[in-house]
Amino acid sequence: MVKVGKLSIELVNGDITELNTDAIVNAANSKLQHGGGVAWAIVNKGGYAIQRESDKLRFCAVGNAVITTAGKLKAKYVIHAVGPANGEGNEDAKLKNATLSALKLADKHKLKSIAFPAISTGIYRFPTDRCANIMLNTVIEYANEDTAIEKVVFCLYDDEAFGIFNDTLKQIMPH
């Protein structure tokens, strides 16, 4: 765990659907159809109500985020952040914006804790090292602004991604 102002950043290796944060972030697609990866796991465990709410929202542009309730999950909300596909152009800025959009939504809804996956690193094939660098730096920059968020968790599903995020965090915030 690392503290940035009053915000703590924590890395965990595990299943984001099991976390007891106010919100978990879904690595969503623009059509908000949750058929694979993290999105499928969230709907599978949280219930189809999450997909129904997403269907009403219909669309979310790359680099943006929307919020729904979390169904039967421990979290209260799911923030659906749409990251870029590797090779589509301007990916770094789009991933930063997706991360920022999720953080701003959490603040708008007065949430104290939020958990992120490694957005875009699955079927969108975004390199995990670039993802870690962009997402961690974005959260650290945001922590230095006026935010009510107290805890940001990065929940990495496998040992490799956890190691990359851990090494990147140590480089950015040496103790």
Between CA 118 and CA 148 the distance in angstroms is 23
- Please check the confidence at residue 174 and state whether its pLDDT lies above 90: no
- Please check the confidence at residue 88 and state whether its pLDDT lies above 70: yes
pLDDT per residue over 110-163, tens digit each? 999 999 999 999 999 999 999 999 999 999 999 998 899 999 999 999 999 999
Full set of structural domains in the chain with CATH: 2-172 (3.40.220.10)
- Please check the confidence at residue 175 and state whether its pLDDT lies above 80: no
pTM of the model: 0.96
The CA angle 121-150-122, to the nearest 5 degrees, is 5
**In angstroms, what CA-CA distances link 100 with 15, 35, 116, 134, 174?**
22, 24, 12, 11, 23
